[in-house]
């Protein structure tokens, strides 16, 4: 009996610890890893970050019947979902609001184009919030302007540059010392491209044999068919984008067949309406519509690595119900490049800005 009692006590203690950790992850903080270079140099591949759920309110799970600590699929499978979606909780936040989000906050969110899964089970992304609900955003040479006012963080940004040399090789040791990891040769001898911060671009200019360092910007009004909203009426590219209005809850926009591609996904997918177009007339839920009033707030997200980031320029607006929390701290960092791993001690417990 005594042995059975000890087992029961241990089981209770383990269950209590498990539930405590689970509630802590849902309501307070959760750890994530940075899998790509889209936020360099602010966040590096291999960073382990702490995300605050309290900053904008803890979002309750849409799918409460899910295997804890597992996302989307059971371990070692790609087809068996780790959740059931026949019970869903409507979008709800506790102890806060997305109204607390500020320009240039770094957010973790669920990728809105991942339609295969419920919102809380979609892939996690991390980007910088460059535009808030009600803003009008425009990119000029890759830099953010909000309501015609420059509003960016230039010291954190990276762009692709073309580097010309009067010789065919560049000093790789100097590149490593400067922390330059993305780049390579171009077609002609002495031509290279590198992903650089403004500071590193100046360092490259001072290197021996370098004759030119120029950013690789797309031309204004050149059309990229793979960018949002994938419509030839909008001659936008990754460097020159917009102006575009960021929808705010309660605001209305005039609907035309020309502008509809900007808001079609919001109307159909995010706010669950039926949408039809017939003879240049727009029908929402079988009613002829000339305007649409938004139910949710939306945000525009971009990576600091401006030429190497799949962000809102590619997939459009971020709905507020997809936001997980605010990145606040780098817990630890491991560099796994070149098939070797080493710890970046200087990044431990570094705040995220």
* Tokens linked to 251: 């605001």
3-state secondary structure (DSSP) of residue 338: helix
- 85 neighbors 134 (Cβ within 8 angstroms): no
Rounded Cα distance between 152 and 139, Å, is: 10
What pLDDT, on the 0 to 100 scale, is given for residue 94? 92
Place of tokens 């305007």: 291
For the cut 70, the answer to whether the pLDDT of residue 3 exceeds it is no
Most distant CA pair in the chain, distance = 85
For the cut 70, the answer to whether the pLDDT of residue 340 exceeds it is no
How does pLDDT run across 199-247, given as a tens digit for each residue? 899 988 988 888 999 999 999 999 999 999 999 999 999 999 999 999 9
- 318 neighbors 312 (Cβ within 8 angstroms): yes
Region(s) of the chain under CATH 3.30.70.80: 154-215
What pLDDT, on the 0 to 100 scale, is given for residue 180? 82
Of the ranges 125-139, 189-203, 213-227, the best mean pLDDT one: 125-139
Task: Compute the average pLDDT of residues 9-30.
Answer: 79
Q: How far is CA 156 from the centre of its chain?
A: 15
Calculate the average pLDDT of the chain: 90
The second-level CATH assignment, the architecture, of 154-215 is: 2-Layer Sandwich (3.30)
> Residue 335 burial (CB < 10 Å; 0-12/13-18/19+)?
middle
Rounded Cα distance between 159 and 197, Å, is: 7
pTM: 0.92
How does pLDDT run across 85-122, given as a tens digit for each residue? 888 999 999 988 999 999 999 999 999 999 999 999 99
* Tokens linked to 81: 């979902």
In the structure, what pLDDT confidence band is assigned to residue 27 with cuts at 50, 70 and 90? confident
What is the radius of gyration, based on Cα positions, of the chain? 24
* Tokens linked to 345: 């001690």
3-state secondary structure the chain: CHHHHHHHHHHHHHHHHHHHHHHHHHHCEEEEECCCCCCCCCCCCCEEEEEECCCCCEECCCCCCECCCCCCECCCCCCCECECCCCCCCCCEECCCHHHCCCCCEEEEECCCCCCCCHHHCCEEEEEEEECCCCEEEEECCEEEECCEECCCHHHCEEEEEEEECCCCCCHHHHHHHCCCCEEECCCCCEEEEEECHHHHHHHHCCCCEEEEEECCCCCCCCCCCCCCCCCCCCCCCCCEEEEECCCCCCEEECCCCCHHHHHHHHHHHCCCCEEEECCEEEECCEECCEEECCCCEEEEECCECCCCCCHHHHCCEEHHHEEEEEEEEEEEEECHHHCCEECHHHCCEECC
Rounded Cα distance between 23 and 21, Å, is: 6
Rounded Cα distance between 241 and 340, Å, is: 39
The topology under which CATH files domain 29-135+298-353 is Umud Fragment, subunit A (2.10.109)
How does pLDDT run across 155-183, given as a tens digit for each residue? 889 999 999 998 888 877 778 777 787 88
Region(s) of the chain under CATH 2.10.109.10: 29-135+298-353
């Amino acid at each position: 009996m005594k042995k059975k009692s000890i087992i029961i006590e241990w089981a209770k203690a383990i269950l209590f610890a498990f539930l405590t950790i689970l509630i802590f992850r849902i309501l307070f903080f959760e750890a994530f890893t940075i899998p790509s270079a889209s936020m360099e140099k602010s966040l590096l591949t291999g960073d382990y970050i702490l995300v605050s759920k309290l900053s904008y309110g803890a979002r309750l799970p849409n799918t409460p019947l899910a295997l804890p600590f597992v996302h989307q699929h059971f371990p070692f499978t790609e087809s068996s979902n780790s959740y059931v979606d026949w019970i869903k909780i409507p979008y709800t936040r506790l102890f806060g609001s997305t109204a607390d989000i500020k320009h240039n906050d770094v957010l973790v969110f669920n990728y809105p184009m991942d339609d295969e899964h419920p919102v809380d089970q979609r892939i996690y992304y991390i980007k910088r919030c460059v535009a808030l609900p009600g803003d009008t955003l425009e990119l000029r040479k890759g830099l953010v302007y909000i309501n015609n006012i420059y509003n960016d963080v230039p010291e954190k940004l990276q762009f692709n540059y073309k580097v010309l040399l009067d010789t065919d090789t560049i000093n790789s040791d100097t590149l490593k010392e400067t922390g330059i990891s993305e780049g390579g040769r171009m077609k002609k001898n002495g031509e290279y491209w590198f992903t650089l911060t403004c500071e590193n671009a100046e360092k490259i200019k001072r290197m021996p044999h370098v004759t030119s360092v120029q950013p690789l910007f797309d031309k204004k009004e050149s059309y990229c068919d793979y960018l949002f909203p994938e419509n030839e009426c909008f001659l936008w590219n990754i460097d020159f984008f917009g102006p575009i209005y960021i929808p705010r809850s309660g605001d209305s926009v005039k609907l035309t067949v020309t502008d509809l591609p900007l808001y079609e996904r919001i109307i159909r997918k995010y706010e669950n309406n039926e949408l039809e177009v017939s003879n240049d007339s727009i029908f929402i839920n079988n009613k002829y519509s000339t305007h649409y009033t938004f139910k949710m707030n939306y945000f525009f997200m971009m990576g600091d690595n401006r030429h190497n980031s799949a962000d809102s320029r590619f997939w459009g607006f971020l709905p507020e119900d997809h936001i997980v929390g605010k990145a606040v701290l780098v817990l630890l960092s491991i560099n796994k490049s070149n098939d070797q791993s080493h710890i970046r001690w200087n990044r431990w417990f570094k705040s995220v800005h």
